[in-house]
A and B are shown apart, each in its own frame.
Chain A
Amino acid sequence: MSRAIAKYWITSVMVGLVIVFAFLYVRPGWETKGDPKLRLATLEGDPKAVANLSVWGTYRYSRDFNSRIGLDVDGIIHEKEPTLYEQTFEPWLSAKTVKNMFDGNLDFLRGKKNYGTFYSDDEMLAYANTEHVNDDWVLQISVLDKDTKQQSDFEVQYPDSNTRNYWFTDALQRAANGDIIVLSTHSVNVDAEETRHDKELVRLQIDTGKKAISSVTTVIAGREEDKKQLGLLRNTKVYNPMPYMLISAPMNGKWGYYSYQTATGKLSPISIVKAGTEIPTMFDVADDRLDYAYTDGSRIHLQSFDLATGQPESEEILIDTSQWNAVSARAVAANPKAFSIIYENKKADDPIAGVAIVDRKTGKVIYRAEVQADGTEQERQEALRKFDLVSGLAL
């Protein structure tokens, strides 16, 4: 035996090194060693009440390294490298969206642009995309019947194809008679120097059978003001059927919001705005309810409105996060039962970054947790200072 080792020692060393490489490459030590000792600590309520007990933020490891990390009760969650499949759709469409909306009809996504807009309901998938093709503004439409798997792709001309103006597809819905409703923003160039634009939200109804526009109506028009986004408040690429949509536009001198009924096109104002100085942080439209939240300092004001009438549906709930000596706070998500909020205080000695889930009716805290760090005083403060909370608890 010893003669064999003497004979093969070089190859064995080399193979040994290869195994060392494999070990080093696979070893998780790479991710965790050198990590700050941060974690999420439950302060109130029952952790089991929360479906997904993790928050995400960025951590400034060093001058040029900010890395997105997740926190849960055990510690840091590192983002794992995306697989080839994930790289295909992320960040265009989240894996969840692809699964829920396009499962079984993945081919519908072939060749679609990542800045296009989608619509999905039980019977149909639709896609609309505005392109500026040889001096013409064109609306590319694709429609797929989920049952018959019949897909038809066609193009229609936008009414105004003046190149100095600009079309952009905002939303996609479906009319009762099967037509496609496309809501596009049309920014008209007022003066030659292209410094000021007038914006109008246009509703195009398209007959997929005839492959032509059946009606064009202007929903709302107005002058663009800085920091105020005129038109549809959108936060998704894939629309489900939405009986009502939220539109922000100038309203007799001030800035206001309207509820837009998809089917009829009726606009009705919603009395959201109070002093006009508040900072809205959440517009969550669910069927005919709008969950609206705004912040002033550490106080979060939550209220929901009936989009049909435009009137408040419930009393305004006030959550004063200063009780947790937070300085700033915001609501991030809502569902029929609760709201998810974030509160922070960066200036405090031990910087505070907290998340909570609040009962929609009573405003009472169902669950609350804060980011905490372990180690020496100095280590804790440094870790908390370098961590910026980005997304709160998902509902």
Chain B
Amino acid sequence: MMTFWKLLNLEVKRLVIPFVIMAIMVAAVQMYGAHAMARHTENEAKEIMAREKLATVQQLEELHGLASYADVIRINQSPWIILPIGLCIAFLLFYLFFVWYRDFIGKHSFMSRLLMVPASRHHIYFAKLFAPLLVIFALLAVQLLVLPVENRYYNSLLPDEMRVEYPLNYLISAIPFLRKLIPLSAEQFAFNYGMGIAAVIVLYTGVLLERSFRLLGLFGAIVYAVAAVYIATIPLGLGDHWFFYEKARLLAGIISVIGALSLWLSLYLLKRKITV
């Protein structure tokens, strides 16, 4: 088991710099967004009060209600929030390929050293699977840490009486994109990330297919991925003769089977068929 920790540690160390960059980028951009939106809200409030000749914020609040951070995010589907997360996702999607190919291509093919580690090869696989997942959840932690800070910062920029308090999970439900990223229902969370992890495993299987059979493998990988996606969408196509929760459970079952099958295939390829 120590092998796993050591290999995982190696993979995580290689991800540290990108993680730090992404975390800072997300925090910085979103904080600036909060700043911009606070300015926007304040100007808008002044405008309305002038136009409708409202003396106090109290009256504005009664007539229109005060725009909280969640409101302004929801109104313009704040790019400040979505853009940095999108960039992180783009990088991580790229990294899911790079985590393998960096060790194959290039003058120094580290993969042959990894394959000669005197322990079962699935440690290599799980190290390369868990490292990106660790970083993903670490970034989610950064996001959950930063959101309340943004909210407080947004309020701090507004005059005292314009500040609004609300449970922060509305902040998440304000943006559909964020709701998918961090679903509030644990069941939905497990479902989304279960699908995500299964997709990563299928992707890794594709990579290992290519690494084992080169061009033939690449073709195999594409066929495999398409088949996996097609099978995964079967439950959605079922008529309304099926209850929604049955379709959901069937989908979860199929995804788990695809994930398990892909995992087994990946480990088999890594053990028997991979070529350096």
The answer on A and B forming one complex is yes
Task: List the interface of chain A (C-beta within 8 A of B).
Answer: 7-8, 10-11, 14-15, 17-18, 20-21, 24-26, 30-35, 60-65, 67, 78, 80-85, 87-88, 106, 109-111, 385
Assess the A64–B138 pair: CB atoms within 8 A: no
Q: Within the assembled complex, what's the spacing in Å between the Cα atoms of A81 and B172?
A: 13
Assess the A17–B68 pair: CB atoms within 8 A: no
Stretch among B81-89, B185-193, B255-263 lining the A interface:
B185-193
CB neighbours (8 Å) of B189 from chain A are: 25
Assess the B185–A35 pair: CB atoms within 8 A: no
Q: Within the assembled complex, what's the spacing in Å between the Cα atoms of A277 and B141?
A: 60
Interface residues of B in 208-246 (CB under 8 A from A): 239-246
**Does residue B26 face the partner (Cβ distance < 8 Å to A)?**
no
Task: List the interface of chain B (C-beta within 8 A of A).
Answer: 5, 8-9, 12-13, 16, 19, 62, 64-68, 70-71, 74-75, 134-135, 137-138, 140-142, 144-145, 164-170, 182-189, 239-246, 248-249
Assess the A63–B64 pair: CB atoms within 8 A: yes
Q: Within the assembled complex, what's the spacing in Å between the Cα atoms of A67 and B12?
A: 42
Name the contact of B184 in the complex, choosing from A81, A110, A111 (C-beta under 8 A).
A81
CB neighbours (8 Å) of B248 from chain A are: 84
Q: Within the assembled complex, what's the spacing in Å between the Cα atoms of A81 and B142?
A: 24
Per DSSP, chain A at the interface is helix
Name the contact of A34 in the complex, choosing from B12, B65, B168 (C-beta under 8 A).
B168
Assess the A14–B134 pair: CB atoms within 8 A: yes
How many A-B Cβ pairs are below 8 Å? 122
Assess the B187–A61 pair: CB atoms within 8 A: no
Per DSSP, chain B at the interface is helix
Assess the B141–A24 pair: CB atoms within 8 A: yes
CB neighbours (8 Å) of A24 from chain B are: 141, 144-145
Q: Report A110 CB to chain B, min CB distance, Å.
A: 5
CB neighbours (8 Å) of A82 from chain B are: 185
Assess the A61–B141 pair: CB atoms within 8 A: no
Q: Most chain-B CB neighbours within 10 Å: which of A26, A87, A385?
A: A87
Assess the B187–A25 pair: CB atoms within 8 A: no
Known contacts: A18-B141, A30-B169, A81-B185. The answer to whether A63 contacts B241 by CB under 8 A is no
Closest A residue to B183 by CB, please name it. Answer: A81
Assess the B8–A21 pair: CB atoms within 8 A: no
Assess the A21–B68 pair: CB atoms within 8 A: no
CB neighbours (8 Å) of A20 from chain B are: 141, 145
Name the contact of B243 in the complex, choosing from A11, A33, A109 (C-beta under 8 A).
A109
Q: Within the assembled complex, what's the spacing in Å between the Cα atoms of A381 and B81?
A: 34
User: Other CB < 8 Å A-B pairs besides A17-B138, A61-B167, A84-B245, 7 of them?
Assistant: A14-B19, A21-B138, A24-B141, A30-B167, A63-B66, A88-B243, A88-B245
Q: Report B247 CB to chain A, min CB distance, Å.
A: 9
CB neighbours (8 Å) of B245 from chain A are: 83-85, 87-88
CB neighbours (8 Å) of A60 from chain B are: 65
Closest A residue to B189 by CB, please name it. Answer: A25
Q: Report B251 CB to chain A, min CB distance, Å.
A: 10
Assess the A62–B188 pair: CB atoms within 8 A: no
Assess the A34–B166 pair: CB atoms within 8 A: yes
Q: Within the assembled complex, what's the spacing in Å between the Cα atoms of A385 and B13?
A: 54
CB neighbours (8 Å) of A63 from chain B are: 64-68, 71
Assess the B142–A110 pair: CB atoms within 8 A: no
CB neighbours (8 Å) of B185 from chain A are: 80-83
Known contacts: A20-B145, A21-B141, A31-B167. The answer to whether A62 contacts B65 by CB under 8 A is yes
Assess the B164–A61 pair: CB atoms within 8 A: yes
Closest B residue to A113 by CB, please name it. Answer: B240
Known contacts: A7-B9, A64-B71. The answer to whether A14 contacts B135 by CB under 8 A is yes
29 contacts between A and B (CB under 8 A): A7-B9, A8-B9, A10-B13, A11-B8, A11-B13, A11-B134, A14-B135, A18-B134, A20-B141, A20-B145, A30-B169, A32-B167, A33-B167, A33-B168, A34-B166, A61-B68, A62-B65, A62-B68, A62-B70, A63-B64, A64-B67, A78-B167, A81-B188, A83-B245, A88-B243, A88-B244, A106-B243, A109-B243, A385-B62
Closest 5 CB pairs of A and B: A81-B185, A63-B65, A21-B141, A62-B68, A17-B138
Closest A residue to B151 by CB, please name it. Answer: A34
CB neighbours (8 Å) of B246 from chain A are: 88
Assess the B134–A15 pair: CB atoms within 8 A: yes
Assess the A64–B134 pair: CB atoms within 8 A: no
CB neighbours (8 Å) of A67 from chain B are: 170
CB neighbours (8 Å) of A35 from chain B are: 165-167
Q: Within the assembled complex, what's the spacing in Å between the Cα atoms of A44 and B170?
A: 36
Q: Report B60 CB to chain A, min CB distance, Å.
A: 10
Assess the B67–A10 pair: CB atoms within 8 A: no
Q: Report A308 CB to chain B, min CB distance, Å.
A: 41
Q: Within the assembled complex, what's the spacing in Å between the Cα atoms of A350 and B223?
A: 68
Q: Within the assembled complex, what's the spacing in Å between the Cα atoms of A35 and B187?
A: 25
Q: Within the assembled complex, what's the spacing in Å between the Cα atoms of A202 and B246?
A: 38
CB neighbours (8 Å) of A25 from chain B are: 144, 182, 189
Assess the B134–A110 pair: CB atoms within 8 A: no
Q: Report A162 CB to chain B, min CB distance, Å.
A: 29
